[in-house]
Every structure is written in structure tokens, then in C-alpha cells.
Amino acid sequence: MTVLLIGASRGIGYELGRQYREEGRRVVATARDERGLARLGELGCEAVPLDVTEAASAAGFGWRIDGERFEVVVYCAGLYGPRTAALEPPSMHDFDLVMHANVLGAMRILPVLQGLLAQRAKVAVLSSVMGSIGGRTGTSGWLYRASKAALNSVLKDVSLVLGPQGAVCVALHPGWVATDMGGPSAPLTPERSAADLRALLARLGPQDNGRFLNHDGSAIPW
């Protein structure tokens, strides 16, 4: 099985790479800089440079993976942005950074996968329960929330195109994880979250195409 991880130099993406490699899977994983690429190489991943926020880098990514057949694809790239508590307007700089990484990057990369997926491939984006509109009860980090809601919309459209071709496409909430983004007080370790996500991806079927799921497999309202 060949796994593609987009944005895997740290956090949950890195842990997914480590666990898939520990299983003996072939992993193609991307990072923006030499340090990240070196970390992935040390895991035994095939490290590919990619900055999803740069149009030229995203455009060149397609030829780097031409001819591949991926069974699992996870879009892990993302930024949190300003840690606001209420309705504090983001700066244009922060807005562009977060939306480019979390939304535009996915819109650039996911279409490239057409023709590069194995039969019954699993395609996932790492979303967040913070992007849920139906289940929302707070306003903290509202730029991040908006970006994840937009990412969910992108995933839904991808599922409508790739689903009929045999893929299962889902948005996944990894839980509140003790990463650089989640902070040290988060209840889940990266190891537990990644293990849950791998198990969930393995058991997904056609009936799950286009769904928004928690790491334990329970449904999250859009």
C-alpha cells in the first residue's frame, strides 16, 4: 500500500507517517523546507518538497507524483492563525496565510489526484470540529473555524467527483491533540490520534463518502 501525506513534517501528519512506515507501508510525504524533508527521510518516507501556499510549487507537484497509485491520501497541511476569543477582525496577512494553507492549498492539490488513485482509495482532509457550523457553540479562533468550514466544503465537492470513480473521501476531526497547534493541555496524544485515524481510514466504505467524522468514527454535523 502506498500512502500520500500532504504536509507531514510535524504534528499528526508526521505521526501518521511514522506509524504507516512502522507497518511497512510505502509513504510519500511532503514538507516545505529542508529540515522537514530530512525528518521525513529519517522515518523512511519518500520526502517530496511542496509548499501548498505557493502556486509554482503546487503546479510542479503533479509531475513529481506522476504514475503513482495511492491507496490512502491525507491532506494534513494547515495553520491555526491568530488565537482570537471573539469577533476580532484578522489582518489581511493572517487571513491570506490561513486561507492559503487550509483551503487554497487543498483546492490546488486534491484535483491533481485524479488518475493517481488506486481502486477504493481513501482520501481525507484533516479538518476540525471547530469548522462545524451545526455543532458550533463558541467563537474562539474564528479565522481557523472559517477556514475549516471552507475546507469541508472543498472536501464535499471532491467527494462528488472522486466518489463515483471509486474513492471514499472524508473530512476528519483528529481530536484535540497535544501538538504545537493543540497545545500541551490537549487530552489526546499524537500517537493515539494517528492510530485512531488509521483504523478509521482502514474501515471506511462507499457509504462513508462525503462524510465529516470524528477520529472515533462518530459523525460530526456540518
Query: 24-35 pLDDT, tens per residue?
Result: 999 999 999 999
Question: How many separate domains does the chain show?
Answer: 1
Q: Is residue 155 part of a domain?
A: yes
Residue bearing cell 497547534: 181
pLDDT tens digits, one per residue of 23-80: 999 999 999 999 999 999 999 999 999 999 999 999 999 999 999 999 999 999 999 9
Q: Is residue 72 part of a domain?
A: yes
Q: Is residue 170 part of a domain?
A: yes
Long-range contacts of 187-196 (CB under 8 A, 24+ apart): 188/215, 190/11, 190/12, 190/14, 190/15, 191/15, 191/19, 193/12, 193/15, 194/12, 194/15, 194/16, 194/18, 194/19, 195/19
Residue bearing cell 516545505: 32
Total Cβ atoms within 10 A of residue 10 = 17
Q: Is residue 222 part of a domain?
A: no
Q: Is residue 30 part of a domain?
A: yes
Q: Is residue 121 part of a domain?
A: yes
Q: Is the pLDDT of residue 90 over 90?
A: yes
pLDDT band at 176 (very low <50, low <70, confident <90, very high): confident
Strand, helix or coil for residue 211: strand
For the chain, the average pLDDT equals: 95
CATH number assigned to the domain comprising residue 148? 3.40.50.720
Q: Is residue 108 part of a domain?
A: yes
Weakest-pLDDT range from 45-54, 172-181, 211-220: 172-181
Spell out the residues 6+ positions from residue 51 whose beta carbon is closer than 8 angstroms to its own: 32, 57, 58
What would the grid cell of residue 22 be?
512502522
Tell the burial category of 205 from Cβ atoms under 10 Å away from its Cβ (0-12, 13-18, 19+).
Answer: exposed
Q: Largest alpha-carbon pair distance within the chain?
A: 47
Strand, helix or coil for residue 176: coil
pLDDT band at 173 (very low <50, low <70, confident <90, very high): very high
List alpha helices for the chain, DSSP H. Answer: 11-22, 34-43, 55-64, 92-99, 105-109, 142-162, 190-203
Q: Is the pLDDT of residue 182 over 80?
A: no
Q: C-alpha distances in angstroms, 114 versus 79, 87, 92, 154? A: 26, 39, 33, 15
pLDDT band at 218 (very low <50, low <70, confident <90, very high): very high
Q: Give the residue numbers spanning the domain of 176.
A: 2-214
Residue bearing cell 524533508: 37
Q: Is the pLDDT of residue 144 over 70?
A: yes
| Full-model pTM | 0.95
- Name the DSSP letter for residue 89: P
Q: Is residue 220 part of a domain?
A: no
What would the grid cell of residue 7 be?
504536509
What residues form DSSP beta bridges with 123? Answer: 73, 169
Total Cβ atoms within 10 A of residue 104 = 18
